[in-house]
Structure 1
Amino acid sequence: MSQTLPPASLAGRTALVTGSSRGIGADTVRYFAEAGANVVINFRNKAPRAQKLATELEGLGVQALVVGADLTDPASVQEMFSEVERTFGSLDILVLNASGGMEGGMAEDYALQLNRDAQVRVLETALPLLGDDARVVFVTSHQAHFIRTTPTMPEYEPVARSKRAGEDALRELIPMLQERGIGFVVVSGDMIEGTITATLLERANPGAIADRRESAGKLYNVSEFAAEVARAAIDPIPADNTRLVGDTSSFQGE
């Protein structure tokens, strides 16, 4: 994996990525560590995988803290940030990457709990640790970001609407974040090849990925999209607080 952020550009800083034991989250946290940041690897139920990643990143000369937390449980979230405070004292980058809602056996409102309520709670709980010049990044998809104007696959619609609700709730906090000197960016990507969501959608709707790839011309893979998420943590903030990754020509504007 090539260097994505300038060497040592995050030296002395601390970054937490939710859902970072695998996939986009893991690659994002790896990019931060390669740039010199101490990192917090958050997982829900993949402790061995998270610990293996931490060991790898510590080999880069940074400190890696592994913290398990259920983001839908306020006490669990509070304990996660208490551990971050005990270890690092503060936080410079918070990436709200963990999401879901297509899992089986969950409560009917689970997608909304995780993709809206938990996202806001995580940010609000992190606020005391986020100082001037901190950056918050919310990761979403075009299918969710544009859901109000562009329909998506029926299997994904409840998740898309819950993620858009989360994005809207977080955007309402932008004035408060700006007063504190904290930047906020939404990173929206097209369907990402190799993610769990893409796999589940393909299972429910065979051919969906190939159809989208043909329509878009290219789909980003996990490491390519993670690089865009990592860059959003240091690049200038767009005027509309939105970084669109990949083709948007088939999505109607808001």
Structure 2
Amino acid sequence: MTELSGRVALVTGGSRGIGQAIAISLAEAGAAVAVNYKQGSAEAQHVVETIQKAGGRAVAVPADVSKAAEVRALVEEVGESLGPIDVLVNNAGIGLIRTVDELTEEDFDLTIAVNLKSVFLCTQAVILGMRDRKWGRIVNISSGAARGAGGIGPHYNASKAGMEGLTRGYAARLVKDGITVNAVAPSLIETDMVRSGLASSPARIPLGRFGTPQECAQVVMMLVGNAYMTGQTVALSGGMSFL
């Protein structure tokens, strides 16, 4: 079990799905957790209450993490409420399902801003403090679409491939500062995005079922707990990645 007592974690997009499972797992390991959300205040507060009922510390903090000013305010508020951020999980993202013919410039720009630019903004906002303390864990939630065709569209592929590039770039430059940077690339996890039409059946998954948010959280916790692993992307696909 990863031991995070005395640590503070920020999970972007932490109000539901994979982010919710990660936030609760971090709290179970002893971390104080900031649950970021853009919409869904009630859902974020439910995650906070779940953590608090189990004896943990948590706050819900609204912010659009694709906006620099809001990210700065988010990190400042977390610092005031819980303390400096030791663990950052860049989970916030959108999946606008578009065909090549339907895809617009607005769709592309929005996807890159939410899925990729947010990782840059949040990482830049926390690494100074992590460097000062010589300890930090950054985990980016990518997707199998970073390397495969995916079902959402090329804009989504590009955003997640860029995220993995940021992961490697930051890992190489922060490795001497006690900061690890890794990614998890899930495919077809049973979340709202999948239920909304991305995949109606798990038939093409070799394991025969969708993954769960809790299984994603297990991999995140492994990365947070491993001080020797950095610059890596862990695929979580029920066997699809080696077909």
Say whether 1:152 aligns with 2:143. no
Alpha-carbon offset, residue 75 of structure 1: 0.8
Say whether 1:74 aligns with 2:68. yes
Are the equivalent residues in 1 in contact too, given 2:171–2:230 (CA < 8 A)? Answer: no
| Matching of residues 178-189 of structure 1 within 5 Å | 178-189=175-186
Match of 1:117 in 2: 117
Counterpart of 1:137 in structure 2: which amino acid? V
Q: Under a length normalisation based on structure 2, what TM-score does the superposition of the two structures give?
A: 0.86
Q: Which has the larger displacement, 163-172 or 234-243? A: 234-243
Are the equivalent residues in 2 in contact too, given 1:89–1:129 (CA < 8 A)? Answer: no
Are the equivalent residues in 2 in contact too, given 1:188–1:244 (CA < 8 A)? Answer: yes
Say whether 1:169 aligns with 2:166. yes
Identical positions, percent: 27
Partner Cα separation in structure 2 for residue 106 and residue 79 of structure 1: 29
Partner Cα separation in structure 1 for residue 140 and residue 79 of structure 2: 21
Are the equivalent residues in 2 in contact too, given 1:185–1:237 (CA < 8 A)? Answer: no
Are the equivalent residues in 2 in contact too, given 1:69–1:77 (CA < 8 A)? Answer: yes
Match of 1:107 in 2: 106
Partner Cα separation in structure 2 for residue 250 and residue 136 of structure 1: 23
Gaps of 5+ in 1: none
CA RMSD in angstroms, aligned pairs only = 2.4
Counterpart of 1:24 in structure 2: which amino acid? I
Are the equivalent residues in 2 in contact too, given 1:40–1:84 (CA < 8 A)? Answer: yes
Aligned length: 235
Alpha-carbon offset, residue 185 of structure 1: 1.1
Say whether 1:98 aligns with 2:92. yes
Deviations, residues 65-114 of structure 1 (Å, cap 9, x unaligned) = 21100011111111000111222331111111111141799933111111
CA spacing shift, 1:48–1:187, aligned 2, 3 Å: same
Alpha-carbon offset, residue 240 of structure 1: 5.2
Q: Under a length normalisation based on structure 1, what TM-score does the superposition of the two structures give?
A: 0.83
Query: Whose helix proportion is higher, 1 or 2?
Result: 2
